[in-house]
Each structure stands twice: as C-alpha cells, then as structure tokens.
Structure 1
C-alpha cells in the first residue's frame, strides 16, 4: 500500500522565526505517521533549525533543491551530503520553477538524482507539462531522461510528482481529472520502463493549486498518492487541515 504524502513547499517564504512558530502551531496536530506522511520544504537556512525542532516527531523537513556535486567550488549551491548530515531524508529535484528560472535541464536533474541516491537522500522528482498535454510526450520525455541510469530497485527510494505548468502558483482551481490522468499516465510510463511491480509501489504526487477545499477530492483519485502544496501551505491552520485531510473527509461523511 502506498502511504499518502502531504508536502508544503514554502519556496522563499518564511524566515527562521516564522518557520519555528509555524511548527509550534502544527506539531501537536500531525496525523498518525502510519496513515499519512507529512513534510515541509522550507528555505535552506531554515532546514536545520526546523529539523531540530521537529526531531521528536515524524515530520519530514525537505530540501527544495541540491547540487549535482557534494563538495567543491560551486558557490551558492547546496550539498545533498550536507542535507543528509542535518537529518534530511528527502530533496525535491527538477521543480518547474527551477527549470524555468534557472534553466535546469533533464540531464542536470538526472545527475542530481543520482547524487542524492548515492548519498542516501530520497529524491522527489518533479515532472511538469501543460494541462492540454497532460502526461504527453513532454512529461514522458522528462521522466525518461531524468531517470536515466536509475536501477529499478531505486524507485523504492524515489517519489514522483506531476505538476501541470499552468496550475503552479496560479491559484487556479485544481482539476481533479487532470491530477488523476497525469499521475495515471506517469504510472504507466514507470510500468513500461521498470515493470508492473515497481509501478504499483512508486508514490506519485500531484502539485498545483491544492487547497483545503479540494484536497479530499484530489486524494481520492486512485493514482494520486499525495500532494505538493504551495501558497495554501503558508497558513498553519490551513496546512493542519490539509495534512489531516483523511480525518476531515471521514467527518464529512459521518
């Protein structure tokens, strides 16, 4: 069974004090870790203080990016080895904003993935495409290239993410059918490349305009195993509601 994964992507919002105050507000409300995995991806300088603050919980503090190399003359980069030394278990790689603003290529993202796997940090691999071409050649080409050289057994340590480009940071209403179809098509591509057993076990998340009003419907889609939440995750009350979506959904049914 694929455990649901709910992740807050803060981008470059919240300073250290704000991040720690946020944790104070939500840590007591974390769902049962056997039922739902929860993560927050803060700015790099907030990672270690947050790891320390959350160390007695199952909350995952996640890197938003990492370098291809673990050390050397790469000014401004973040080493995945250093993330691991701080207690970070996951790192996002290939987010659409990294591709757009920093011109990251599939080949660069592939090298980052391989480095993260070697260092024992689990990549959250982002793919993105237009709504009208959801799961089309663009997304398939991304997946094919960024996972080049990754052995099938390592898919157990990889989480995939589908983001429709038009929905990222736009505040548009998330399309449930788009979420399910995109994640389903990614799963079919994993099946083609790595086999049926791997495809059934890999977690595939959806990102794009997720909020407290639609998370229950999105998570009910058979091939959506989790969500990456942007602006709606910046409010502690909103995020607490979303990370407990299963309880909220059950209450609404009862």
Structure 2
C-alpha cells in the first residue's frame, strides 16, 4: 500500500515569519505520519526555520529547487548539500514553471535527480503530459518521454526512492479546473511507463502525485483515483484552514478506500 502524500507548493509566497507561523498552526493537527505524509515546499530562506518549527511533528519540509552541482562558483544557486544539512526531506525538481520560465532541460533535471539521490534528499520529479508512442513488446504504449529522459540511468534501488508529480500544463494556474478522470489517466500512464522501463513491481511502489488546481472542492475526487497517491497543491495551500481541510478530506478518502478492501 502506497502512503498518501499531501504537499503544498507555496512558490514565491510567505516570508520567514509567516512560514514559521503556518507550521506552528498545523503541526499538531496532522494525521499520523505512518498513515499519511504532509509536506510544505517553501522559499529557500525559510526552510531551516521551518524545519526547527516542525520539530518532531513529522511535517516534511521541501525545497522548491536545487542546483545541479554540490558546490562551486554558482552565484544564487541552492546546494543539495546545504539542503540536506538543514534537515530538508524532499526537493522538487523539474517543475513546469522552472522549465517554462528558466529554461531547465531534461538533462538539467536528470543531473539534479542524481545528486539528490546521492545526497539523501528525496526528489519529487515533476513532469507534464509530454508523451510519445513507442512499441513495447509488440504493443504500442504511450510513454512519458520527458520523465524517462530524466530517469535514464537511475538504478532500480534508486528509483524506488523517488516521488513523481504529474502536472499537466492545462491544469496549472489560477482559474483552471482539475479533471479527476484526466488526472487519473495521466498518472496511470506514468505508472505504466515506469513499469515498461523498470518493472510492474517497481512501478507499483512509486508514489505519483497530481498537481494542478487542487482545492477543497475537488481533492476527494482526485484522491479517490487508484493511481493517484497524493497531491501537490498550489494557491489553495496558502491558507491554514484550507490546507487542513484538504488534509482531512484526503485522510477521509483514504480511510474509506481502506474500508472497502
């Protein structure tokens, strides 16, 4: 059984004081870490203070990006070594906004993923709907070429550690509407692509999140889908009450699913 993962992506919102206050307001209201993981991706300057505020609560503090080098003359970049030492658990890599606005390539993301795995920071690999048709064992499959390029050369042991986030371009941004059926189909195809590249056993263990206009009104329908193991929430995660409502809704959906088995 894959453990659900509810993650907030605050993007370029909230200063240090606001971030720490948010953590303090939610940290004692989260589900048991054994049943569900909850994380927040915040700006880099807030991460150490958030880690300290989270304490032993189980709340995961997530970096929004990292450099493709451990150290060196890279002014303005964020070191994975530094993130690890600061107690950061996860790092988002290849987010659609990083690709669109800052020109990050598959090769850039691939290198970052390798470094994150080596350093012990779990990568959340973001991918959109870029697919190609490819023959696999005599059958035509839709393959997420972008994701497979990023995973090329990642070993069986390493790939078990990753998290994948499916963020279709049609659903990213304010005013858009998430479609649970399309979200499930994208996540299902990602899992099948991983199964073709590695194995069904490996693919069945990897958590796949859905990101794109997730809010309190649609999170239950999204989380009810069998190939969606969690969500990456943008704007709707900025409010404490909204975020807690979504966590509770996801937990209830998960409990109902367990009860049906």
Provide the aligned C-alpha RMSD in A: 1.7
1:204–1:223 CA contact under 8 A, matched in 2: yes
1:241–1:248 CA contact under 8 A, matched in 2: no
Equivalences for residues 82-161 of structure 1 within 5 A: 82-129=82-129, 140-161=144-165
- Displacement of 1:28 in angstroms is 1.8
**Secondary structure class of the residue paired with 2:76:** coil
For 1:68 and 1:146, locate their aligned partners in 2 and report how far apart those are by CA, in whole Å.
13
For 2:39 and 2:132, locate their aligned partners in 1 and report how far apart those are by CA, in whole Å.
29
Deviations along 1:71-119, one digit per CA (max 9) or x if unpaired, are: 0000000001110001112100000000000000000100000011111
For 1:239 and 1:40, locate their aligned partners in 2 and report how far apart those are by CA, in whole Å.
10
1:70–1:81 CA contact under 8 A, matched in 2: yes
2:210 corresponds, among 185, 192, 206, to 206
- With 166-175 and 97-106 compared, the bigger mean Cα shift is at 166-175
**Secondary structure class of the residue paired with 2:28:** helix
Structure 1 gap ranges (5+):
none
For 2:51 and 2:24, locate their aligned partners in 1 and report how far apart those are by CA, in whole Å.
13
2:235 corresponds, among 224, 231, 234, to 231
For 2:28 and 2:173, locate their aligned partners in 1 and report how far apart those are by CA, in whole Å.
28
Q: Which residue of 2 aligns with 1:197?
A: 201
For 2:19 and 2:143, locate their aligned partners in 1 and report how far apart those are by CA, in whole Å.
33
For 1:84 and 1:246, locate their aligned partners in 2 and report how far apart those are by CA, in whole Å.
29
2:143–2:189 CA contact under 8 A, matched in 1: no
1:48–1:86 CA contact under 8 A, matched in 2: yes
Equivalences for residues 19-58 of structure 1 within 5 A: 19-58=19-58
- Displacement of 1:171 in angstroms is 2.8
Distance verdict in 2 for CA 1:136–1:161, change over 3 Å: farther
Structure 2 gap ranges (5+):
134-141, 257-261
Q: Which residue of 2 aligns with 1:59?
A: 59
Q: Which residue of 1 aligns with 2:224?
A: 220
For 1:62 and 1:111, locate their aligned partners in 2 and report how far apart those are by CA, in whole Å.
19
After TM superposition, the score normalised by the length of structure 2 is 0.91
Q: Tell me the matched-pair count.
A: 248
2:36–2:251 CA contact under 8 A, matched in 1: no
- Displacement of 1:139 in angstroms is 6.8
For 2:219 and 2:157, locate their aligned partners in 1 and report how far apart those are by CA, in whole Å.
30
2:219–2:250 CA contact under 8 A, matched in 1: no
- Displacement of 1:19 in angstroms is 0.7
Distance verdict in 2 for CA 1:139–1:24, change over 3 Å: farther
For 1:182 and 1:171, locate their aligned partners in 2 and report how far apart those are by CA, in whole Å.
21
Distance verdict in 2 for CA 1:105–1:247, change over 3 Å: closer
